Amino acid sequence: MVFSLLIFSHELGHFLLAKKNGIGVTEFAIGMGPTLFHFDRGGTTYSLKAVPFGGFCQMVGELEDDSANQREDSFNSKSPWARLSVVLAGPVFNFILAFLLAMFVIGSVGIDRPIISDVIEGLPCEAAGMQGGDRLVQINDQKITVYRDLQLYLMLHEGEPLDITYERGGEETTISIQPVFVKDYNSYMIGIQYENRRSDTTMWETIKYSAYEVKYWMSYTLTSLKMLFKGDVGVDDMSGAVGIVDTLDTIVDETKEYGAYPVLLELANFCILLSANLGVINLLPIPALDGGRLIFILLEIVRGKPIDREKEGLIHTIGMVCLMILMVLLVFNDVRKLF
């Protein structure tokens, strides 16, 4: 169900913009493999497939022979800007879904405001004069909007000197500290304590913080990719479909005793990450992904003429094969970690 929602949102973006730009859609499918159910309407076949992973919005001229591209409703017959909007719509709709889910979660449980509950005696923040009730404003050049901003920054800049700006009584103060290594915790610490309590929001705050929630997870995804390429994280830290399903099962198992609504909230919260992640990954300039297709369309706009369709198709095919190999490796890795 979760995967279907994410894919439906993504493909719906492609579908709606294709229809708006007069592009024919031959099939709109959720899932992969054998068809369980389908119906035809307006020249489009709407299908539900047996395997609940993936989905597609097949447009006229995408995978068909050259004759299909001669049709007025083919994808390649439209202007570069029309095609750009169609390709971009998939990731954008993932971000919209993440925003709507964030509205639901934040409207229900509030936000993690960056207000510390206490400081630990003998550690840098206490020695520098910080107190419980102080609101974090900024750490070095990073603005602190929610408490997780601090956690993410400290994870990425472990042991580095910090300039922390906090607010107390309407006045802002900046302190300079050096995190210290605490053997008992085997990590660098600054000595801040935080009660993991969310506080209620106004309607405007819910909208504002929902937008920020999407931005946060987009940044988190890009940061994770950067760490992967730098070698700071390895293959064991990556998850594929099996790993995600296992995480979803764990979420349900750990919250079902509290009732259906808490389970729904936790699943929605996890889906915010997944949907934002899917949007960002699809915008990467990798052949076969939306980002790869966008590159070719942008090159066409700059050059004033399209790249040879056969060459572009070959590049996307190679990209798809590489992505399928990566997916298989991730599934193998997920299964290995489970057992």
Q: Which residues are catalytic?
A: 11
Kindly tell me the burial class for residue 170, based on how many C-beta atoms sit within 10 Å of its own C-beta (0-12, 13-18, 19 or more): exposed
Kindly tell me the burial class for residue 127, based on how many C-beta atoms sit within 10 Å of its own C-beta (0-12, 13-18, 19 or more): middle
Buried residues in 44-77 as b, exposed as e (16+ CB within 10 A): bebbebeebbbbbbbbbbbeeeeebeeeebbbbb
Which of 99, 87, 6, 17 is closest to 54 using CA atoms? 6
**Helix intervals (H) in the chain:** 2-20, 80-109, 124-127, 147-156, 203-230, 241-255, 260-282, 290-303, 309-338
Which of 22, 76, 27, 72 is closest to 310 using CA atoms? 76
Q: Which residues contact 14 (CB under 8 A, 6 or more apart)?
A: 57, 59, 86, 87, 89, 90
Distances (CA, A) of 276 to 114, 211, 224, 272, 281: 23, 11, 13, 6, 9
What DSSP element (H or E) covers 186?
A: none
The token duo for 61 is: 């001229």
Beta bridge partners of 47: 29, 38
The token duo for 244 is: 């995600």
Q: Count the residues in the chain.
A: 339
What DSSP element (H or E) covers 34?
A: strand 25-41
Instruction: Yes or no: say if 111 and 201 are a contact pair by the CB < 8 Å rule.
Output: yes
